Amino acid sequence: MYIHKSVCISPQHTFDKINLEDVVASAESKMTVIEPKYENIPLNILRRMGKAVRMGVGAAMPLVRDYPELNGIIIGTANGGMEDCIKFLYQVIKYDEGTLTPTNFVQSTNNAIAAQIGLSTHNNNYNITHVHRGLAFENSLLDAMMLLKENPNSTYLLGSVDEISSYNYNLEKLGGWYKKETITNSDLYKTNTEGSMAGEHASMFIVNNRKEGSSAKVKALKTLHTDNAEEVKAQLKIFLQNNLSANQQVDLFLTGEDGDSRHNHFYTSCEELFNERTAIARFKHLSGEHPTVVSFALWLSCFILSTQQVPSNIFKNTPDNYRDTKPINTILIYNNCKGLQHGFIWVEK
């Protein structure tokens, strides 16, 4: 499956003029998105949109403008629309089920993002939302790959959206998934404590089976559920054996290390499978932690493969190793969510 165009709205400068060297600092232990002006969305519609829908439609519109005949829209999310859901439930209590705002109700479900993109583009084709917590985007990706095998001449919009709502932020913080101490994203990997940093973003991709004009190819995908680091390492080894061709290497191993001391052993264990010719990198100091954050890693991989520009701040091992791997032709993404849901994505030129 080939990725032709991609758009990302994130806590960094990724939407218009891309700048990943000057990292935008977090605030109050949160990494909130830098929202653009959304010039492709009419103002009378924009003002009624919740944040998740606004981000999703805003990231999708620059792509669908160039691909008006999409055969489907595939979105992954875990918390999309949750803020509007809480607003609607609050109104039910406040007004005793009386005069309620219909907008909050309409946009309170996870599929509101995919639905609004379809409505905005008058697209009546396949429209689906995958809600699988930490594997929501991986399942969206798998859906797109399967559809393209059945419909080889089709083109799809693939993406994910997750927001920091007061609901999911407070629950995740109470659950111990965010750090108790106040830190900035520049110190995310320097701490040895439990928890990470909240983040949000929206990424959208145009995918089909045509190599011409593509920025990257998604060669393979693997997901698993386990809390055993040795099992993850064993599955990664098999994944590498199945996908590495003769005289090929992984140029960049991009991991979702998030500063949570409970999950470090998953990443260090997998890193042992690579030699010094593979550069080790991580990305969550740019995006924060959230269920569909791996689509940010896929967008970043497309950027690296198409431009051959690797942000210096993402390296875990020394940049000297990176110089030996130029040009970057193969990237392997590994992410895990809460130490239970794991996914590998193989991306290459």
How confident is the model over 316-340, as pLDDT tens digits? 976 565 555 578 999 999 999 999 9
At 320 the pLDDT is 60
At 107 the pLDDT is 56
- Mean pLDDT, residues 112-120: 91
33 contacts 59 by C-beta, under 8 angstroms: no
pLDDT > 90 in the chain, percent: 75
pLDDT > 70 in the chain, percent: 90
pLDDT at 152 over 60: yes
Partner residues linked to 188 by β-bridges: none
Q: Is the peptide bond before 327 cis (omega within 30 degrees of 0)?
A: yes
C-alpha to C-alpha distances, 88 to 49, 83, 85, 152, nearest whole angstrom: 14, 9, 5, 42
For the chain, residues classed under CATH 3.40.47.10 are 2-208, 216-348
Contacts of 259 (CB under 8 A, 6+ apart): 179, 188, 189, 191, 195, 196, 197, 284
Lowest mean pLDDT among 132-146, 164-178, 252-266, 284-298: 164-178
Backbone angles phi, psi at 85, to 5 degrees: -65, -45
The one-letter amino acid at 36: P
More confident call, 40 vs 101: 40
- The CATH number fitting domain 216-348, selected from 3.40.47.10, 3.30.420.40, 3.40.50.2000, 3.40.630.40: 3.40.47.10
The helix (run of H) or strand (run of E) holding residue 333 is strand 330-337
The position carrying tokens 């290497």 is: 249
More confident call, 289 vs 94: 289
At 126 the pLDDT is 96
Q: Give buried/exposed letters for 287-306 (b at 16+ CB in 10 A, else e).
A: bbbbbbbbbbbbbbbbbbbe
pLDDT at 209 over 90: yes
More confident call, 349 vs 167: 349
The helix (run of H) or strand (run of E) holding residue 147 is helix 136-150
At 86 the pLDDT is 66
- Topology of the domain covering 2-208: Peroxisomal Thiolase; Chain A, domain 1 (3.40.47)
What is the pTM (predicted TM-score) of this model?
Answer: 0.91
Contacts of 307 (CB under 8 A, 6+ apart): none
